[in-house]
Amino acid sequence: MAKKKKLIVANWKMSPANAALARVLFAKTKRVASRFENLLTVICPPFVYTSLFTHAGTSRFFLGAQDVHWSNSGRATGEVSPEMLHDLGVSYVIVGHSERRALGESDEVVSKKMNAVLKEGLKAILCVGERERDAEAHYFDFLRDQIRQSLSGVKPRFLSDLVVAYEPIWAIGKSSREAMTPRDVLESLLFVKKVLSDIYGQQAAEAVPLLYGGSAEESNTATLLKEGGADGLLVGHASLDAEGFIKMLKCANTVA
């Protein structure tokens, strides 16, 4: 059986500061990423830069988006529709990132976006994760509810386009030393798999790639993928330094 490729998603958030820098970062990353045969690499730039990279994808390198609106039409000032993204050659869309949820995005809105993205024929990267951990492990209940509600209405036939990124909020935007330990990543991802399997059945759930996100850097890439059992990584700040990110990709390609 062919080895499953690791999925590495770069979330540039609100960076870099201008289009010229974005072009350079994109070009440098793409040139190297396209060579790695064990990886699928996705770059999610801010919306304003998306059209700079229209249809830039290859079989190993894809254009993504950080958010989306849940409808293809109607009055929605400032929003971007799934259809618009599709038209520009976007393949993956991050939905429900904790930084969007912090601005008021509810599970209900996330589920509407998930359904819209999947119906558009795009791949949806659903972000979930607890704000903090408590000694009684109530965060597992939170996680279960968040996954269930975010996937509300998502039919099993769309599962082949679903990716789930587990991103504990407390581990985001720090250094690799403060990221989750691979042991805890493994435990959490097994839990996510169990929740998916309760909803969709074991066989379908097994096929959904599960990513880890939260201070993934070059130094912890190998352990997060190997011992953490992640099918890939959602990378924020470490994806903004082309040289460092390329080292991460190289490492992931070897582990995969």
Q: Which residues bind ligand PGA (CB under 6 A)?
A: 11, 167, 172-173, 213-216, 234-238
- Smaller CB separation from ligand PGA, 200 or 239: 239
What are the contacts of 97-103 at 24+ separation with CB within 8 A?
97/11, 97/66, 97/67, 97/127, 97/167, 98/127, 98/129, 98/167, 98/169, 98/172, 99/13, 100/67
User: To the nearest whole angstrom, how small is the minimum distance from the Cβ of residue 79 to ligand PGA?
Assistant: 21
Annotated active-site residue in 69, 97, 99, 218: 97
- Smaller CB separation from ligand PGA, 167 or 218: 167
Distances in whole angstroms, Cα of residue 106 to Cα of each of 20, 96, 97, 250: 35, 8, 11, 36
**Is 167 annotated as catalytic?**
yes
Instruction: Specify whether the backbone of 130 is left (phi greater than 0), alpha (psi in -120 to 50) or beta.
Output: beta
**Is 237 annotated as catalytic?**
no
User: To the nearest whole angstrom, how small is the minimum distance from the Cβ of residue 77 to ligand PGA?
Assistant: 26
- Smaller CB separation from ligand PGA, 229 or 236: 236
- Smaller CB separation from ligand PGA, 40 or 200: 40
* Cβ-proximal residue to ligand PGA, closest one: 236
Total Cβ atoms within 10 A of residue 13: 16
- Smaller CB separation from ligand PGA, 116 or 216: 216
Could you tell me what percentage of the chain is helix, strand and coil, using 3-state DSSP and rounding each to the nearest 5?
A: 45, 15, 35
Instruction: Report the alpha-carbon distance of residue 162 to residue 7 in Å, rounded.
Output: 12
User: To the nearest whole angstrom, how small is the minimum distance from the Cβ of residue 173 to ligand PGA?
Assistant: 5
Instruction: Report the alpha-carbon distance of residue 29 to residue 112 in Å, rounded.
Output: 32
Asked, as a colleague might, if the bond just before 16 is cis with ω within 30 of 0, I would say yes
User: To the nearest whole angstrom, how small is the minimum distance from the Cβ of residue 130 to ligand PGA?
Assistant: 14
Annotated active-site residue in 99, 120, 130, 167: 167
HSE of 123 in the Cβ direction (CA atoms, 13 Å)?
21
Structure tokens at 153: 């209405």
User: To the nearest whole angstrom, how small is the minimum distance from the Cβ of residue 237 to ligand PGA?
Assistant: 4
> Which residues are identified as catalytic?
97, 167
